[in-house]
A and B are shown apart, each in its own frame.
Chain A
């Protein structure tokens, strides 16, 4: 069914292309307008039916505009515009922008972001990974903290250091399904997971688990972390 939908999508895309073969209406390059103030853009766009897109919603919404080939961002902006926020650079132009150490911070990282990031990261868990590599970035900080000093809800139930849960009482299964990324931040190798979730113990896989896909792509290296050869 999915394959059929995929083929239909391709065909539909092809049909649109053919239908538009006479493409007469070319888009206007914006390079010559790059020095204009944003409010002046309306002098053209007002009558063109183009939605204003450099407004207060830009930080949240620019991904849809920028994350595609053929975007026209480079007609006005250099890659510095992207990487100052996405990779922590800056030349001091924007006084409202603060630093985290030597790295400049995007405006979405407000006040004491280190402390509030567990809450902010819940607002669309994918957004952290637009700039940060999940495993290496989070762990480069989390690994330096002594075990027991992180306050995760499911880890606060039991144990002298508040870092132990039990199968019967603990909330870790629910928490992990909702926010597995946070587990990876402190346990990048998943060593604690394997203690209970390896072969013959509690099955961690989703219901529609396609084991062959991951086996083929990793030459079975992943499978062998929990299963004996020939048993998966």
Chain B
């Protein structure tokens, strides 16, 4: 998707303002979760907490979107990085003491949030690097997606089955919030959730700035080229696989930071964080918002959580409603909300509507028929 040629600074400013007013944009009313805890994580009541959740998943979606929206690679298992970041943080903070095939692994509880962050990002990026090196030269397209999904399941099963370390199905509880330098030790533990929101907003904003920087750099330009026409990119001299690997590794950092925030926010973690469900959510968010656009993933997170929150008060089968909305978007508005607005702006209402309803052309360049683009290499 073409970006409107807007000033990146203006864009970042707009994002900052959006973050600032976010809590006020959350739907009101009773926010009790329905009794069937299908996904079993506790969500605290309150607009603010929903806003914080939106931010965490916005982070998650940014990373995913770098890969799918901007490089054209659909990683359907990106929750594994969210989970890795989360569990790294949780284990660092609570400590652990386990045996692994004769090796004794032990660590006392840690309190330094920054160390936790480095660990979270480091572990996620390391796994991402190894995975990318394995997968990228050997696959692309939906074959690639299948493989990423499969490897995400490996992480999921490890968090589920290695109970000694990860607490198994129940996960890890009672994780205390860190203290921030220069602030009172329990500042983040503020019961109204406001302080944590501010913290999350600051972290997310920094991440957004970094994201913007990457996107508008020459590196980002090449990613777009790869998305548009991988083969052509190869033939003008780009080492496409190297870029794909690098993009993958970078894309793991954002969910890892999200996981780090999430653990301190929820003060607990369980295997759901790495489940297909979570991977799917971030995919849906990104598409709803608009893949390939700058604000799309963040907007998508906002829309998704509002939707889930509202619909879940009406029916316990809310995932079906969200699934249906998503299906509709895939069919009619694959460029998401941002894309729809783009179309409206460019074509006017009548023409945009006509385009949405009529058969859509391929969203990427048709490649030469000689080389199969997807599948094993």
- A pairs with B: no
